Amino acid sequence: MSKSAEVVSIPTQVLHREGESQKNRILGEVMEALYENLPTHVQGSSDFRLSDGTRCWVRKRGGPRQKGEEGLCYQFEVIFSDGALASLEFNVRCSGWNRGD
């Protein structure tokens, strides 16, 4: 005698919300980890040099937060030792994602 399994239909919207929730949780954790590894202060030797020899330091600016339609973002800046620019500011956001198998 075989038992038949009851098939439960889950609305697509519920599955979509659950997938978004998981993605957002993981995205938040990754963004926080990346941001936390950025230096807070400019100190000591430079983090890297440009091809013209300009010394550059990376410094965190704004931690992960929701930013309108852009979604979750964080900010950092690159500070230059000399030249026409004092610094460049960057907003980092997730540009896409793929589901695992």
Domain ranges in the chain?
Answer: 12-93
Q: pTM of the prediction?
A: 0.71
At residue 1, the pLDDT reads: 55
State how far the Cα of 17 lies from the Cα of 28, in Å rounded to an integer.
Answer: 16
Put the strands of the sheet holding 48-49 in their side by side order.
Answer: 48-49, 55-66, 72-80, 87-93
pLDDT at site 86: 94
- One digit per residue, the tens of pLDDT, for the chain of length 101 reads 566 677 766 667 766 566 677 888 889 999 999 999 898 888 788 899 999 999 999 999 999 998 888 789 999 999 999 888 999 999 999 988 777 76
Of 71, 63, 72, 65, residue with least CA distance to 38: 63
